[in-house]
Amino acid sequence: MLLYPPFSWLVKIEIRGKNITELEKSINNIKNRMIDPPKGISILGPALCYREKLRDYYRMQLILKSNKELDINGTTLHKYYKSIMSKQFDSEVTSKQRLIIDINPVSLL
């Protein structure tokens, strides 16, 4: 089983920018800060979004996925996500980029 919704919780971290090289550097810096996720949490990516360029902006994403069998109400994922946020990874994003965080996204496109 792939464990996508409704069998898992998701957090999508997306960065948009016009320079793909800077975008890759920023998202890799964020990924490098995500060390030792708790049991049942997977980090997928970084990868280009399905529609990698939208309105002249490149888009890259990281997906945090938590198994509902191990994390029944999503608290483990939210604690891990909040611990990442406390590291202020938005400082990795340049002023020319936009950071978008979507908890339980409706779409991964």
Q: What is the CA radius of gyration of the chain?
A: 14
In a domain, 3, yes or no: no
In a domain, 69, yes or no: yes
In a domain, 58, yes or no: yes
What pTM was estimated for this model as a whole? 0.85
CATH number at residue 46: 3.30.70.600
Number of domains in the chain: 1
In a domain, 109, yes or no: no
Give the range of the structural domain holding residue 90, as residue numbers without chain letter.
8-102
In a domain, 2, yes or no: no
**94-104 confidence digits (pLDDT tens):** 778 888 889 88
With b meaning 16 or more CB within 10 Å and e meaning fewer, what string describes 90-99?
A: eebbeeebeb
In a domain, 21, yes or no: yes
**62-88 confidence digits (pLDDT tens):** 999 998 888 888 888 888 888 877 766
Residue 4, CA distances (Å) to 32, 36, 91, 103 in order: 24, 21, 30, 14
In a domain, 107, yes or no: no
